[in-house]
Amino acid sequence: MTAPDDIRAQTERIFDVIGALLAAHGSSLSEVAHVRTFLTDMDDLAGYAEVRRRYFPGTPPASTTVEVSRLFMPGVVVEVEVTAVARVYA
């Protein structure tokens, strides 16, 4: 894993991957309606929010952020899931 315990680096990586996944399905970060974020330390919220604002300029999507005791792997400090619109044209 890259950047253990680094909220900014992990957040950038997460949103890069989410953006690529959305693009592969004909969508983008601009189509995200809701973001759910799990942090292992709410003190990291400012660093997370700083990076997130770069990926969601303007009016951000609705969001929920909660603190959890731990995540799936040591060193992981943030987990994000999104709900986005994928437009399908026949």
Q: Copy the structure tokens of residue 53.
A: 């604002």
d(CA 6, CA 84): 26
- The proportion of the chain whose per-residue pLDDT surpasses 70, expressed as a percent, equals 94
Residue with tokens 């693009």: 23
Query: What pTM did the predictor assign?
Result: 0.91
- Strand arrangement of the beta sheet that strand 62-67 belongs to: 62-67, 32-39, 78-84
Confidence of residue 3 (pLDDT cuts 50, 70, 90): confident
What residue numbers bound the domain in which 45 lies?
Answer: 7-84
Any domain includes 1:
no
CATH code for the domain in which residue 80 is found? 3.30.1330.40
Q: What is the pLDDT of residues 8-51, one digit of tens each?
A: 999 999 999 999 999 998 899 999 999 999 999 999 999 999 99
Residue 2 resides in a domain: no
Residue where the block lists tokens 């990291």: 44
- Residue 45 domain flag: yes
